[in-house]
Chains A and B, each alone.
Chain A
């Protein structure tokens, strides 16, 4: 009998995820997955933008949108990844109940399994932004990047998404069939309400109040301030009104809001996970498969 160490579980699970995720025997497939797919997804958005606005990408709003859209890849991939791990273990490998009854922190396992997805996504995000700067005049200036702000907001933002993954993981215990739908719905909520491609100020008032509660909202704001401070200043100065609704708020306060909302979501997610876990045990859903 031994005590399992969280970090070790994370490491071993990450190795497991790596074995499953990275199809190194087929580099073409891997490149498609990690580069072509995100850029293709981005191009759809760019095309829509060009059609709607009549074709100007060299402006502040396009850069605002482009960065938000690229960062959103993290939200979608993590939320999807966590649910997929549980789905796969339950339905495909049938190892969920064995993993579940192991004396380890189950969350470390899911995060380890998803870590490689996050790493591959980071690569995709980087490529997408590079593509934007080179080909589409996205206004990111290496000399003006606020590196500490960018790094800290990336860490906190990713943490907030991983924490949400915990809640989703719990919910996935309960609904084998609907969990994919639930996470797509949740990802959609963040897309619309967190200022990903359009500022929250254009939302109805009630929706904007929800936005101001979500960590992703502050994450998007903080990342943009770190990555494209010039764009954010220009948006605030030229538009005649406070586009993002936060232009008067200092960087420090934004980070504080981010930290607080991450904390609140952390508590909420743990609560949701515990309740879901309890219900799953009560109803005997852990080792239950849908037999498609």
Chain B
């Protein structure tokens, strides 16, 4: 089976109409990506990195300057209808919709453009409206919705057409915490409920990429700088994981000396409260359980435990040379 998405040296250059209107922008620079069926794949990058340009090309809105892009093995430049039958796209902050129609009518309209049977469409619309807490707005005219509600309606629009591959361009942009949570949970459930479903989402939120995505491509200046699972990406950062324990009634600390994978440790005993603060620098995370069982075997109680490890932020700073504000 072909990849859900594959690009080969995909390049897109924007030239200004007149010289004085700015310079030539290479929005995508030889991008090679392979996204498997069933993946929830993230493209993480700052504003202007080329994320939207990538999704526009994949969704047949924009032509590449050079290179190739395939969706479900189909050429996005040539097999337009076949690609369109399999995809849908939602952009964050999207408040579009036919204002004079009701929410239900608007969603139904789009389902019909994709040839979904009316009965099936209605059932799915009701289900999705309920899922996003919009059931009470089903009969409301689109123009009366708040921007957040319109955005949620557009997320539903992206899924109501029963696509195989969904492109989400910063889907939680501008949503409040709860709505963003609802969108993330839904997207994860949607991908997991059918192995043939694929989501390619772009984001500039580290946490979102980390939490949601099976794999992440980090993009900046149109170039893919790294592409791997969140965990593998974090491993590339030479920063050790630390484990901090607060322990009550600790007998001795000699037992820690022989635990393999433990780099070093420090201990500090607070005589007054009887707790000891232990800080371990780990080379290999698998020794966490041995440390814990060593503590417990000495008859002491663990009051708190905290692990700090490299974040995607650290990965990003290492690759791009600056943070993602």
A contact set with B: CB distance below 8 Å: 1-5, 8-9, 12, 16, 19-20, 92-95, 97-104, 109, 278, 281-282, 284, 286-287
Given contacts A93-B97, A101-B84, contact A3 B61 (CB under 8 A): no
Binds A, one of B106-114, B122-130, B237-245: B106-114
User: B96 interface residue, CB < 8 Å from A?
Assistant: yes
Assembled-state Cα–Cα distance A98/B61 (Å): 10
Given A2-B85, A101-B88, 19 additional A-B pairs, CB 8 A: A1-B86, A4-B112, A4-B115, A5-B115, A8-B115, A12-B113, A93-B98, A95-B96, A95-B97, A97-B61, A98-B157, A100-B61, A101-B61, A102-B161, A104-B115, A278-B63, A281-B62, A281-B63, A286-B61
Sample of 13 A–B contacts (CB below 8 Å): A4-B115, A12-B112, A93-B98, A93-B99, A94-B94, A98-B96, A98-B110, A102-B110, A102-B114, A103-B81, A103-B113, A104-B115, A281-B60
Q: Which residues of A contact B62 (CB under 8 A)?
A: 281, 284, 286
Q: Quick one: closest B residue to A11, CB to CB? A: B112
Given contacts A19-B100, A20-B100, A93-B99, contact A102 B116 (CB under 8 A): no
Q: Which residues of A contact B110 (CB under 8 A)?
A: 98, 102
Contact partner of B85 among A12, A94, A95, A103, CB < 8 A? A103
Within 8 A of A (CB), among B69-83: 81
Q: Which residues of A contact B117 (CB under 8 A)?
A: 2
User: B170 interface residue, CB < 8 Å from A?
Assistant: no
Assembled-state Cα–Cα distance A282/B12 (Å): 10
Q: Which residues of B contact A103 (CB under 8 A)?
A: 81, 84-85, 113-115
Given contacts A16-B109, A103-B81, A103-B115, contact A93 B96 (CB under 8 A): yes
Q: Quick one: closest A residue to B98, CB to CB? A: A93
B contact set with A: CB distance below 8 Å: 14, 56, 59-63, 81, 84-89, 94-101, 105, 109-110, 112-117, 157, 161-162, 164
- Give chain A nearest CB distance to B173 CB in angstroms: 15
The reply to whether A2 and B100 contact each other, CB–CB distance below 8 Å, is no
Contact partner of A1 among B14, B59, B113, B162, CB < 8 A? B162
Assembled-state Cα–Cα distance A19/B85 (Å): 26
Q: Which residues of A contact B105 (CB under 8 A)?
A: 19
The reply to whether A9 and B113 contact each other, CB–CB distance below 8 Å, is yes
Assembled-state Cα–Cα distance A9/B105 (Å): 15
Q: Which residues of B contact A5 (CB under 8 A)?
A: 115
Contact partner of B96 among A2, A94, A278, CB < 8 A? A94
Assembled-state Cα–Cα distance A147/B115 (Å): 39
The reply to whether B98 and A16 contact each other, CB–CB distance below 8 Å, is yes
The reply to whether A282 and B63 contact each other, CB–CB distance below 8 Å, is yes
Assembled-state Cα–Cα distance A287/B53 (Å): 12
Assembled-state Cα–Cα distance A97/B109 (Å): 15
Q: Which residues of A contact B60 (CB under 8 A)?
A: 101, 281
Q: Quick one: closest A residue to B81, CB to CB? A: A103
Contact partner of A287 among B61, B87, B99, CB < 8 A? B61
The reply to whether A284 and B56 contact each other, CB–CB distance below 8 Å, is yes
The reply to whether B113 and A109 contact each other, CB–CB distance below 8 Å, is yes
Interface centre among B60, B98, B113 (most CB of A within 10 A): B113
Interface centre among A3, A100, A102 (most CB of B within 10 A): A102
Assembled-state Cα–Cα distance A151/B85 (Å): 39
Q: Which residues of B contact A102 (CB under 8 A)?
A: 84, 110, 113-114, 161
Q: Quick one: closest A residue to B101, CB to CB? A: A19
The 9 closest A-B pairs by CB, nearest first: A94-B96, A2-B115, A103-B84, A102-B113, A4-B115, A103-B85, A12-B112, A284-B62, A281-B63
- Give chain B nearest CB distance to A105 CB in angstroms: 9
Contact partner of A2 among B63, B88, B114, B157, CB < 8 A? B114
Assembled-state Cα–Cα distance A221/B97 (Å): 43
Q: Which residues of A contact B109 (CB under 8 A)?
A: 12, 16
- Give chain B nearest CB distance to A290 CB in angstroms: 14
Q: Which residues of A contact B85 (CB under 8 A)?
A: 1-3, 103
The reply to whether B98 and A95 contact each other, CB–CB distance below 8 Å, is yes
Q: Which residues of A contact B100 (CB under 8 A)?
A: 19-20
Assembled-state Cα–Cα distance A287/B56 (Å): 10
The reply to whether A4 and B162 contact each other, CB–CB distance below 8 Å, is no
Given contacts A3-B85, A98-B157, contact A20 B112 (CB under 8 A): no
